[in-house]
């Protein structure tokens, strides 16, 4: 039911946009809200009425939703050591996570295997699958911030 309502709204808005070039429609990627903009409140009220009367689409024209985000207030480094014994041999892995405040925009993390010749030699055996797992873990952690649960933007 909801998908057919959305398709009906999309078709109606396409028709209205063709007739009225001052009507602009976009979908906000953060809130998934369909956003209409035009030549003022009266213009949007007329569009709303036309959606109801001509296209039989009852759209809720409300206020824009705000896509809240959290950010880090300062850069920090977290270092963790994992140890495991396999076949009577002790193996350890040290993972260092660095979050830099204000260096990049957005929530896409940049995951690097390391820098420097010595570190790169040690990490040469790290598989792409392991790197993807680490990246997925970082992305998952950034989806919900520690204070209010909003996505984290560095």
Q: Is the pLDDT of residue 151 over 90?
A: no
List, by residue range, all CATH 3.30.70.870 domains of the chain: 2-53
CA dihedral (100, 105, 111, 116) positive or negative: negative
Please name the CATH architecture into which domain 2-53 falls.
2-Layer Sandwich (3.30)
Distance (Å, whole) CA 90 – CA 93: 10
- Give the CA count within 13 Å in the CB-facing half-sphere of 56: 1
Distance (Å, whole) CA 47 – CA 62: 13
- Which pLDDT does position 127 carry in this prediction? 75
**Residue 51 near residue 9 (C-beta atoms within 8 A):** yes
Distance (Å, whole) CA 25 – CA 40: 14
- Identify the band that residue 88 occupies on the pLDDT scale cut at 50, 70 and 90: confident
- Which pLDDT does position 131 carry in this prediction? 75
Span 96-141, pLDDT tens digits: 777 777 665 555 556 666 667 777 776 676 777 877 887 788 788 8
């Amino acid at each position: 039911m909801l998908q057919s309502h959305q398709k009906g709204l999309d078709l109606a808005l396409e028709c209205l946009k063709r007739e009225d070039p001052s009507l602009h429609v976009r979908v906000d990627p953060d809130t998934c809200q369909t956003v209409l903009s035009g030549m003022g409140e009266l213009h949007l009220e007329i569009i709303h009425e036309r959606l109801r009367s001509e296209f039989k689409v009852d759209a809720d024209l409300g206020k824009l939703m705000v896509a809240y985000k959290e950010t880090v207030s300062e850069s920090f480094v977290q270092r963790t050591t994992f140890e495991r014994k396999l076949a009577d041999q002790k193996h350890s892995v040290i993972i260092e996570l660095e979050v830099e405040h204000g260096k990049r925009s957005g929530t896409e993390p940049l995951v690097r295997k390391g820098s420097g010749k010595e570190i790169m030699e040690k990490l040469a055996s790290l598989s792409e699958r392991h790197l993807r797992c680490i990246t997925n873990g970082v992305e998952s952690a950034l989806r919900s911030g520690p204070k209010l649960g909003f996505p984290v933007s560095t």
